[in-house]
Amino acid sequence: MTTLAASRATGAPKVSLRSVTKSFGTNTVLRDLSLDVATGEVVSLIGASGSGKTTLLRCVNLLEQIDDGVVLLDGDEISAIGLDPNPVRRRVGIVFQSFNLFPHMSVARNITLALTKVLGLENDAATQRATELLTRFGLADKAGAFPDQLSGGQQQRVAIIRALAMQPEVLLLDEITSALDPELVGEVLDVVRELKGSGITLLIATHEMAFAREISDRVCFLHAGSVAEIGSPSQVFGAPRDERTQQFLRRVRSN
Amino acid sequence: MALGLHRRSGHQPRLTTRQEHERQQRRRSSFIAAASTFVVLVAVAVFIPRMPRWDRVKKSFFDVNQMRDSFPRLIDAFWLDVKIFVWTTPAIFIAALLIALARNSRSPALFPVRMLAAAYTDVMRGVPVILWIYLVGFGVPGLGLERPFNSPLLWGSVALGMTYSGYVAEVFRAGIDSVHESQRAAARSLGLSSAQTMRHVVLPQAIRRVVPPLLNDMVSLQKDVALVSLIGPIEILRQAGIDKAKFANFTPFVVAALIFLSVTIPLTRLTDYLWHRERRRTSGTRVAA
């Protein structure tokens, strides 16, 4: 909560969506959606499949272009037409549900590719940064392995490291445990727990309700492309005000 | 019976009823395959010599002395086929890759490039190779170019390269399309440009997947090199024609065929092996029956 207060004092939110609308053909996925995320804040997005969680994240690092509204990063509009997305993407990392590691490259190369090609680091410096991160997250012995030699949990940890190595200000996590066997979920969530409080802003789309409750500063319930309810984890999970949130949580808990 | 049972349990791991059944099935299959091969070979060996004109065919197609005589000349001439193959192949791969990249460009400003690339592959693949060789091989030197730029060998090779780059470009394009969009998303999300994504992430995966079809096209090219002979250069097919006319015997053609096979069969086997490996890698567990 201290980070939250501090960032509010400095003014502009880290990430801000204002009246964002996004459609795929006739299917409107985000509907007049507004959301502010402060620097260093951890916000979880929960909601049914199709409620717009993934699309929201992809709009923040410009993998999707919005139809209407604005997306701001540190108060600067990043959704402007014709804006070069690459500088934004350097500051906003994303981890995907299906890992998306590059299968033809070793773990180390997966991590160093963008360090050398985008940030212009020397090979040695890039390798050193990769090794430090791999060591920190218990994967030092996997540097030379290829993605298909790793378990799903290990692959997803590498994917997180690959995004972290770019030292982004914001990290988007898109249902990063949904493709994992239940016993592998813990090791991936541990990595995220370690990131909290490091100053990085986390925006997490997730189906892991217990995890969302534990790690979030705020929880945001999306319904049909809009924010139906947003508040502290204890409020949203403990005393949801919106009827749709109540229904959703009942359905999730009955499983 | 008792002895057999004893031996089995003594020296080998005991087989279950099903494993025993499968072993018998396998033995039965190999026996049938061997027997049917034997029958076919015997039939060929017995019946072909009994055809009424076999003696004449044997003399004009399988004359051993003629083989010995023609072989060195044909091998010499085959060297030219190899040379044409060796200098057209890299040119084809480079041109084809550029065409495929042009067709895969996404910028609206490059629409004309995409259209030209599509038209090129359509036109090149839509006309028989031999027609391109005639048109380019006779047409371009007919412009009155100076030596060495009026050589039919040069323009015949160019015609081969033009047509084959059309085919190979389509193979590359299929490979590029087969790389999942999520790979592009991952690369772009790290800040790589679209060109860097193509170069470091998409192309290496695409090319690996299309190695077997590329080898397939190389086997075809290896044979189609002989078509260049139709506009003049004395390569193996032409040399075999000369020998045939001189000795009034078709044996040189058979020798030429054997020389081609000695190159194309290993290449084809290698292609098959790579297909097989790629299939095993990507298509999951085989169903039992």
pLDDT in tens, A138-166: 999 999 999 999 999 999 999 999 999 99
pLDDT in tens, B105-154: 878 888 999 999 999 999 999 999 999 999 998 888 888 777 777 788 88
Full DSSP string of A86-117? HHHHHHEEEE-TT----TTS-HHHHHHHHHHH
Same domain, yes or no: B172 and B39: no
* Three-class SS state of B97: helix
Same domain, yes or no: B112 and B17: no
| B133: in domain | yes
Q: What is the domain count for chain B?
A: 2
* Three-class SS state of A28: strand
B192/A90 touch (CB, cutoff 8 Å), yes or no: no
Q: Does A163 touch chain B (CB under 8 A)?
A: yes
Same domain, yes or no: B143 and B256: yes
Do the bridges between strand A76-77 and strand A68-73 make them parallel or antiparallel, or are there none, so unpaired? Answer: antiparallel
pLDDT over threshold 60, residue A1: no
With bands split at pLDDT 50, 70 and 90, how would you rate the model's confidence at A11?
low
What is d(CA A82, CA B64) in angstroms, rounded to the nearest whole number? 75
Same domain, yes or no: B178 and B239: yes
A96/B182 touch (CB, cutoff 8 Å), yes or no: yes
Q: Which of B179, B183, B189 to mutate to test the interface with A (most CBs of A within 10 A)?
A: B189
A100/B200 touch (CB, cutoff 8 Å), yes or no: no
In chain A, % of residues over pLDDT 70? 95
In chain A, % of residues over pLDDT 90? 81
| B2: in domain | no
Q: Does A118 touch chain B (CB under 8 A)?
A: yes
B188/A163 touch (CB, cutoff 8 Å), yes or no: no
* Residue range of the domain that includes B95: 66-282
| B1: in domain | no
What is d(CA A86, CA A254) in angstroms, rounded to the nearest whole number? 43
| B252: in domain | yes
Same domain, yes or no: B154 and B31: no
Q: Does A87 touch chain B (CB under 8 A)?
A: yes
| B200: in domain | yes
Give the per-residue pLDDT at A8. Answer: 46
A117/B196 touch (CB, cutoff 8 Å), yes or no: yes
- Considering only CA atoms, which of A168, A145, A169, A170 is closest in space to residue A158? A145
How far is the alpha carbon of B118 from chain A, nearest alpha carbon, in Å? 28
pLDDT in tens, B200-214: 999 999 998 898 899
How far is the alpha carbon of A43 from chain B, nearest alpha carbon, in Å? 20
B190/A93 touch (CB, cutoff 8 Å), yes or no: yes
With bands split at pLDDT 50, 70 and 90, how would you rate the model's confidence at A54?
very high
With bands split at pLDDT 50, 70 and 90, how would you rate the model's confidence at A197?
confident
Same domain, yes or no: B249 and B207: yes
How far is the alpha carbon of A214 from chain B, nearest alpha carbon, in Å? 28
pLDDT over threshold 60, residue A170: yes
- The average pLDDT across B160-182 equals 94
Same domain, yes or no: B142 and B263: yes
Give the per-residue pLDDT at B1. Answer: 46
Query: Is domain A2-102+170-254 given the CATH code 3.30.450.20 in the classification?
Result: no
Same domain, yes or no: B176 and B73: yes
Same domain, yes or no: B23 and B91: no
Same domain, yes or no: B24 and B162: no
B191/A89 touch (CB, cutoff 8 Å), yes or no: yes
Q: End-to-end CA distance of chain B: give it in Å, rounded.
A: 32
B205/A104 touch (CB, cutoff 8 Å), yes or no: yes
- The average pLDDT across B1-13 equals 54
With bands split at pLDDT 50, 70 and 90, how would you rate the model's confidence at A236?
very high
Cα angle, residue A50 at apex, residues A46 and A51 outer, rounded to 5°? 45
What is d(CA A223, CA A241) in angstroms, rounded to the nearest whole number? 14
pLDDT in tens, B208-243: 889 889 998 999 999 999 898 888 788 888 888 888
Give the per-residue pLDDT at A51. Answer: 92
ipTM for this prediction: 0.90
Same domain, yes or no: B16 and B112: no
What is d(CA A5, CA A200) in angstroms, rounded to the nearest whole number? 15
With bands split at pLDDT 50, 70 and 90, how would you rate the model's confidence at B285?
low
pLDDT over threshold 70, residue B78: yes
Report the residue of chain B nearest A98, measured CA to CA.
Answer: B182
Report the residue of chain A nearest B182, measured CA to CA.
Answer: A100
Assign residue B216 the CATH number of its domain: 1.10.3720.10
Q: Does A65 touch chain B (CB under 8 A)?
A: no
How far is the alpha carbon of A102 from chain B, nearest alpha carbon, in Å? 7
Same domain, yes or no: B179 and B36: no
